Amino acid sequence: MNETVYKLRPSDYWRIGEHESWFADMAAKGLHLKKLGLQFVKFVKGEGKEMRYRIDVSIEKKITPEQIQMYAESGWDYVTSNKYFHVYSSPVERNAPEIHTDPAEQSYTLKELDKKLALNAGFVAIALILMISMLFAIWFLDETPTFILVQGIAIQQTILAIFIGYTAYTSLQAAISIRALRKDLINGIPIDHRAPWKKYYQLNSIIAFLFTVVVGLSAILPIVQLVKGETKTLPEASLDLPIVRLAQVEQNPALVRGEPFYMSDNVDWGNRYTYDWSPFAPIQYESDENGVVPGQMWEDGSGEYSPSIHTRVYQLSIPSMADNLISDLIKRYNYEYSDEDFVKTKHPTFDLLIVHEEEAMKEVFASKGKAVIHVRYYGYANINTVIENIENKIKLIIE
């Protein structure tokens, strides 16, 4: 049984002369064309032989036995096809006449393909515009691109858009190249059957490798995020996690956990913590905690005193993203307050500390190195107590 070898195509499919030259060079090395694929070509190992190869273009994807017989009678043996490109071979010693002797006549074989490629390029361009519009909305509609990057929710879509962009570029290039080839043929300039292919082979190999790696990683990314992410009910006991706990802020022994108001998948979502992962923030925590102090009322008489706390924690891969992330968190979760309500405060521990206080609501944004913590607390504890707890917790994720 003859051994088969697969090789990456040296260039894009519309470079007809380069492919013909490559097939001939491979045959001289003992690799004879067997099957032509979209990206890879199958060869069969044998003795080196001087061969000529010609690619005939037809809008029909399949050729008839009569066509194959007609070419065979002229000295050209049918080898394989891929879409609109049909490959024939002939040993040099056979001295077979050219399949197309009149370049102007050969140009007509490209007419329908020219139209089809132009139409394809238009469709791909429209798809690209729609994808870019969608991504623009995801990244910039609420003006929080760093937050979107850290969350990792749009990385795969962005990589997919880049791939579609490259596809649009190659589709346009194909349409332009085939049209240029048609013009050359009409002007009597024949295809160069010994066109150099090595430069394109190296470029195509690099591009194919990069896209394989990047697209492969982008496909794995959501799976990794799904596997790593988890949500659990927050136990009342203290955990060695970088989340600020309600009891540590309240410092009231009478504080108890209220009755669960929403349970799903055996998780008390009023008292839960969620762990997430992304390439730009490999450690992420988000937590909610609610409590009640029996017998104590809110000062406005609205009901029993029920403090709560919400914490977001990020350990960033790139420390310089911290300030932008805090800015984005303020924009994203600033429901009705103005920018002036968020006050930058100097603190010896933090690189950046921003506080916001409205009656019973205290909000703190803090960063140190690659660590960012955001806490929103509703209750009567002093905001300095919240800051002190953040100071203790941020040490867990600085390193």
Q: Tens digits of per-residue pLDDT, 326-364?
A: 999 999 888 777 778 899 999 999 999 999 998 899 999
* One domain for residues 47 and 154: no
What is the tens place of the pLDDT at every residue in 236-283?
A: 887 789 999 999 999 999 999 988 888 888 899 999 999 999 999 999
Q: What are phi and psi of 393, to 5 degrees?
A: -75, -35
Residue 17 belongs to some domain of the structure: yes
* One domain for residues 63 and 125: no
* One domain for residues 290 and 329: yes
Q: How far apart are CA 239 and CA 6, in angstroms?
A: 55
| pLDDT band with cut points at 50, 70 and 90 for residue 1 | low
Q: What is the arithmetic mean of pLDDT over 362-375?
A: 96
* One domain for residues 288 and 259: yes
- Give the pLDDT confidence score for residue 366 in this predicted structure: 97
pLDDT score of 385 more than 70: yes
Site of tokens 């040099």: 92
pLDDT score of 370 more than 60: yes
- Give the pLDDT confidence score for residue 200 in this predicted structure: 79
Nearest to 291 by CA among 271, 265, 262: 271
* One domain for residues 235 and 304: yes
Q: What is the 3-state secondary structure (H, E, C) of the chain?
A: CCCEEEEECCCCCCCHHHHHHHHHHHHHCCEEEEEECCCEEEEEECCCCCEEEEEEECCCCCCCHHHHHHHHHCCCEEEEEECCEEEEEEEHHHCCCCCCCCHHHHHHHHHHHHHHHHHHHHHHHHHHHHHHHHHHHHHHCCCCHHHHHHHCCCHHHHHHHHHHHHHHHHHHHHHHHHHHHHHHHHCCCCCCCCCCCHHHHHHHHHHHHHHHHHHHHHHHHHHHHHHHCEEEECCCCCCCCCCCCHHHHHCCCCCEECCCCCEECCEECCCEEEEEEECCEEEEEEEEEEEECCCCECCCCCCECCCEEEEEEEECCCHHHHHHHHHHHHHHHCCCCCHHHCEECCCCCCCEEEEEEECCEEEEEEEECCEEEEEEEECCCCHHHHHHHHHHHHHHHHC
Q: Which domain holds residue 279?
A: 229-398
Q: How far apart are CA 106 and CA 186, in angstroms?
A: 8
* One domain for residues 50 and 138: no
* Structural domains of the chain, count: 3
- Give the pLDDT confidence score for residue 206 in this predicted structure: 84
Residue 220 belongs to some domain of the structure: yes
* One domain for residues 57 and 180: no
Domain stop point among 44, 79, 99: 99
* One domain for residues 263 and 392: yes
Domain stop point among 39, 72, 99: 99
| pLDDT band with cut points at 50, 70 and 90 for residue 399 | low
Contact 259, 289 (CB under 8 A): no
* CATH number of the domain residue 302 falls in: 3.40.1000
- Give the pLDDT confidence score for residue 261 in this predicted structure: 80
Q: Name the CA radius of gyration of the chain, rounded.
A: 33
* One domain for residues 246 and 365: yes
Site of tokens 């009342």: 236
* One domain for residues 95 and 132: no
Residue 56 belongs to some domain of the structure: yes
Rounded to the nearest integer, the mean pLDDT of the chain is 89
What is the tens place of the pLDDT at every residue in 211-224?
A: 778 777 777 888 88
What is the tens place of the pLDDT at every residue in 169-195?
A: 888 888 888 899 899 999 999 999 999
Domain stop point among 53, 70, 99: 99
* One domain for residues 306 and 392: yes
* One domain for residues 249 and 394: yes
Q: How far apart are CA 146 and CA 321, in angstroms?
A: 7
- Give the pLDDT confidence score for residue 21 in this predicted structure: 94
Q: What is the arithmetic mean of pLDDT over 67-94?
A: 92
Residue 215 belongs to some domain of the structure: yes
This prediction has a pTM of 0.75
Residue 104 belongs to some domain of the structure: no
Q: What is the arithmetic mean of pLDDT over 19-44?
A: 93
